[in-house]
Structure 1
């Protein structure tokens, strides 16, 4: 039996978006694998690390407007510490782990347009407010970027033949 993994397509191969699958919330993930990932997220949410607790408390105090970052979010087959789905921003606290696995996760998130912010656990524990300010700056930039793209999409093309 071969193990299926997420693959990263080259830019030439990504010309057309893949069709939405009817399983795994649009990702090609088996139901059993998706259930296992959600179980990992549930366990991680019940047993947060000290860095996750500190960042969560700092995010609760921050004024994020109508956007919120939810803890232990599953995106495809990746589990991130915090995520804001409307802005497609994810936050990961680096507390060790297999570098090859983390790199593959980062690439798969980038391939679907998720902006991943990574912070070392030591930085989060030392100054959670500074980490939150970096997250807020990234969220504002992403909000402005999405608003600009939306306005350009709605704007009728200019007639330059006058």
Structure 2
């Protein structure tokens, strides 16, 4: 049986952990806005972690209870090569049993209520994953 810590970080190496720590210190304006609304179990009493390591990736926000990643995409994500990378990254996370939902910076900064509504719709009625 996989232990809680192993499953939580999906065998992430120390370098990725350090990069995630650095990213937490330098969140984008959009990440800060969303974090204000989902931190401290403000959204459906779910615990979200910011800049959370998952295997070789770092998720903007991660809820381990539901195995849900929320990504906030800047303009670079519109480039074809980055879109391909994101598709592959999503597929790898899906293979780990993790769902990924994405929003643009603009959606978060200009329509935070719509973003929160979509997150609520995504998590509504879902059973928490057994994290122990």
TM-score bucket (shorter structure) = 0.7 to 0.9
Choose between structure 1 and 2 for higher RCO, CA contacts under 8 A separated by at least 6 residues.
2
Task: Give how far 1:66 is off.
Answer: 3.4
Counterparts of 1:118-129 in structure 2, within 5 Å, are 118-129=102-113
Structure 2: state its 5+ residue gaps.
Answer: none
Counterparts of 1:35-114 in structure 2, within 5 Å, are 35-60=14-39, 63-95=42-74, 96-97=76-77, 98-114=82-98
Pick the structure with greater CA Rg.
1
Alignment length (residue pairs): 123
Structure-2 change in CA distance of 1:60 and 1:89 (3 Å): same
Cα distance per residue 1:22-63 (max 9 Å; x no partner)? xx936996xxx7112111111110000010011111224984
Question: Is the 1:58–1:129 Cα contact (8 Å) retained in structure 2?
Answer: no
State the TM-score, normalizing by the size of structure 2: 0.77
State the TM-score, normalizing by the size of structure 1: 0.64
Structure 1: state its 5+ residue gaps.
Answer: 1-18, 151-162
The corresponding residue for 1:156 is none
Question: Is the 2:41–2:47 Cα contact (8 Å) retained in structure 1?
Answer: no
Partner Cα separation in structure 1 for residue 116 and residue 10 of structure 2: 33
Structure-2 change in CA distance of 1:100 and 1:91 (3 Å): same
Residue 25 (str. 1) matches residue 6 (str. 2): yes
Question: Is the 2:72–2:103 Cα contact (8 Å) retained in structure 1?
Answer: yes
Q: CA RMSD in A?
A: 3.0
